[in-house]
Structure 1
Amino acid sequence: MVFFMNIRHLPSVFFLWLSISLLSLGGCAQWRPTTQDSVKPASTGDACEPGVINLNRVTGLSQIIPELKKARAVVVGESHTYYHHHLAQLEVIKRLAAENPHLAIGLEMFQQPFQPFLDEYIAGDMDETTLLEKTEYFKRWKYDYRLYAPILRYAREHRIPLIALNIDRDITTRAGEVGIGALNDRDKSHIPAHMDRDVPGYEERIHPIFDQHAGSSKRSFEHFMDVQLLWDEGMAERAAEYLNQHPESAMVILAGAGHVAYRTGIPARLQRRIPGKIVTILSSDGIKLEPGVSDYVMFPAEKQLPKAGMMGIFLEQKDQSVAAVGFSDESSGKQAGIKKGDRFDRINGRKIREIADIRLAMWNRKPGDVVDVTVLRKGKPISVKVTLK
């Protein structure tokens, strides 16, 4: 069965089920099914007959839950900065959690060495700001935490395990510089023993991303692909470890769409490690709608994060300090007396050594909030109160 949307009447979240074996979106190229439940398309006698999507049929999320709950893993892609993608991910989690008391959530945005802190957070022994500090969130991931906060808060409220999937960034950084083969023994002990470079279509989808970077070369592409492999294989291996250790569990995996699309990233590598069904879901904006891209496609209503409280100061990391190097128009920091060249010492009592410290101090501040800021000007501390805009 294939479900489609009526684009004139969009509900807040709905699904286009790409039972892609029934579709061909153009050309005469033969397409091979990729999902476990695919069926062969009926023959029309015309190899070049264009495929058609009926846009007058739509199903809601609740209608596909019976299929999703059969899966060991549901891999839900995202565009990291799209708040509505994360709200849609949360809806998937809520419905599956209602069906399975042993659900877990796998997270790309947290790295494996920091798993103990996620455990403490879920147990209620750590608040959000401490979690962000201990996991070095703003150094290692950097996206606005408020995008993910509803998901983590729901998990904490319902004691749903959060699993840090990603490889340590220190290892992927070194692999990008020297390649996997040149990593030291300690690094190699923390990466998958087997990584498949030959998944069909994988390298071809990575090349266009790499080609956007200056200074491209064959060797640097190999290192670039090494990093992609470490991410995809590493996240798949960690998810498989958890699922194999908890055979009664299922997992919703949250990761960037590039790790999910066409099943060549996390899904193919997870399927190699575990039995059972793996389902992929992507949101419609930001992807090319074509055969094989995903099992399901969501169309969440667009929604923006509330405006964050801002000082309107351009920052630069200088050794072990952060300097003000410019101001936006109507900067509240400038209006409060901060000057170009001042170095931040503390914000609301938190010591500032790097830009990540400022982001940690400010992540949950709203327009109108007042923050206490101490800067060093020619070595002399100066304290001001800044009303955020």
Structure 2
Amino acid sequence: MVQKTRGGALLALAAALLAAAGTAAAKPCGEPGRWYDPAAGERLTTAEALSRLRGSEFILLGERHDSAAHHRWQLYTLAALHGRGNLAAVGFEMLPRRTQKALDRWAAGKLGAEAFFEAVDWQRVWGFPRALYRPLLELVRMHRLPAAALNVDRATVRAVRRQGWAALDAEAREGVGRPAPLEPAQRERLEQAFQHHPRQDGLDTEGFIEAQRFWDRAMAEALEAARRRHGAPVAGIVGRGHAAGRGIPHQLADLGHAPADVAVLLPHDAAEACPGPGEADLVFLLEPGRESEGGEEPPRMGVAIAPAQDGPGVRIVEVLDGTPAARAGLRAEDRVLEAAGQALERPGQLQAIVERQAPGTWLPLLIERGGEQRREVVRFPPP
């Protein structure tokens, strides 16, 4: 059981990570391959760290979604927990609740990989390369572990963002209960995170915070349901901000769980300064530079995209400076109608096409700007 440090500073989702990256002169946290307890200031072996998790009902393994190093750490940690008989079920943020039947069939060995990813509509509901997550899913299948789809549909989150939880009936909010009010430090963290969020029409600070609270509540309730069904502990594969920001733990507390019931585990670059109390209960020290490793991540265009809503194609919300999209002259509010000759109806289609691009290749696009169609070519840099 991991003891909590009350009153510790919470992670500012974007600002703290940027600040940590700028502390090159700080004293390294410790030797790679070991664990660190921020509350006690102790460095631990894996056996010692895992022993402290005995009694925890929920173990949240925070990640940066596009980091291969983070997913390897999650895989090895799940395997270690299972080997010690300390893993009852695994929950995945990546999958909305409506995919639970397909996830059950996958975990039971009744659905092949291609059929599973098609059944859950992976590219649309999540979009990050499935190769990053497949080893985690294979571990669940290999050991026939119960698995839980923790998320809700993106459309549900958008509705909460625009209208608020109270304006939706139970069906419209997928049965998710009223989120617990935020503590001041949590609100400050989300306000800072909003400043780094890609701008979307109609997205303001309050809507962003409402959506994040709802997201945390939905996953907390799904984790609690998995615990009631399968026992404890339930491990959660979730984004770093939901775990380190105490979003999910805060909602679990509102559901009646004591702080000691929830353990937050994070990967951390061993060359950086140790995190302070409050960010995590235990951190695993990665080889320097590996925390940001993206593995064999496919090329990125450098755009934030959203459904077009009022017609075909997908809408570009933001174009990041210095990216292939920016060099091709793409602009915010452009509508991408075709990519590589394929008509587009939803963002996941464009993401899938981009993922298949090899370094050094060109991607022809048909876009609409100001009511006129034009052709552009995005050139991906060579390796």
Which of 245, 248, 256 aligns to 2:239? It is 256
Mapping 1:242-253, distance limit 5 Å: 242-247=226-231, 249-253=232-236
**Which residue is equivalent to 2:348?**
356
The match for 1:64 is 49
Secondary structure (helix, strand or coil) at the match of 2:95 reads strand
Matched residue, 2:77: 92
Give, in whole Å, the separation in 1 of the partners of 2:216 and 2:161.
Answer: 15
Matched residues, number: 313
Matches of residues 1-389 of structure 1 in structure 2 within 5 Å? 7=28, 10-11=31-32, 13-18=33-38, 20=39, 22=40, 58-100=43-85, 103-188=88-173, 190-212=174-196, 220-247=204-231, 249-263=232-246, 265-273=247-255, 275=257, 277-285=261-269, 289-301=275-287, 302=290, 304=293, 306-307=295-296, 344=340, 354=346, 356-357=348-349
Distance 2:298 2:203 in 1: 44
TM-score, normalised with respect to structure 2:
0.68
Deviations 1:17-76 (A, max 9, x none): 12x2x5xxxxxxxxxxxxxxxxxxxxxxxxxxxxxx6xxx73222222122132111111
Distance 1:206 1:321, change over 3 A: closer
Whether contact under 8 Å (2:95, 2:126) holds in the other structure is yes
Whether contact under 8 Å (1:129, 1:360) holds in the other structure is no
Percent of residue pairs bearing the same amino acid type: 23
Q: State the TM-score, normalized to the length of structure 1.
A: 0.67
Q: Distance in 1 between matches of 2:119 and 2:250?
A: 32
How far apart in 2 are the matches of 1:367 and 1:290? 41
Q: Distance in 2 between matches of 1:219 and 1:320?
A: 22
RMSD over aligned Cα atoms: 4.2
Deviations 1:315-374 (A, max 9, x none): x9996579xxxxx7xxxxxxxxxxx9976567xxxx9765534655886x7979xxxxxx
* Aligned counterparts of 2:337 and 2:198: Cα–Cα separation in 1: 32
Cα offsets for 1:82-110 (capped at 9, x unmatched): 11111111111111111227621111111
Change (3 A) 1:353 1:102: same
Closer/same/farther in 2, CA of residues 118 and 184 from structure 1, 3 Å limit: same
Amino acid at match of 2:228: N
CA distance in 1, matches of 2:46, 2:199: 45
Q: Indicate how the Cα distance of structure 1 residues 321 and 200 shifts in structure 2: closer, same or farther if over 3 A, else same.
A: closer
Extract unaligned runs of 5+ from structure 2. 4-26, 315-323, 325-335, 360-364, 367-381
Q: What is the DSSP-based 3-state SS (H/G/I as helix, E as strand, rest coil) of the residue aligned with 1:119?
A: helix
Larger relative contact order (Cα-Cα within 8 Å, sequence gap ≥ 6)? 2
Contact 2:339 2:353 in 1 (8 A): no
- Secondary structure, counterpart of 2:171 in structure 1: helix
Q: Secondary structure at the match of 2:59?
A: strand
Structure 2 CA distance for aligned equivalents of residues 309 and 100 of structure 1: 36
Contact 1:80 1:143 in 2 (8 A): yes
| Aligned mates of 1:125, 1:219 — CA distance in 2 | 41
How big is each residue's C-alpha offset from its partner over 1:175-199, in whole Å with a ceiling of 9 and x where there is no partner?
11222232245314x2432321133
Alpha-carbon distance in structure 1 between the residues aligned to 2:167 and 2:286: 44
Contact kept in structure 2, 1:96 and 1:103, CA below 8 Å: no
Change (3 A) 1:284 1:341: closer
The residue that corresponds to 2:14 in the other structure is none
Larger Rg: 1
Q: Which runs of 4+ in 1 moved over 3 A?
A: 6-11, 211-216, 285-288, 303-312, 316-322, 340-346, 351-355, 357-363, 365-368
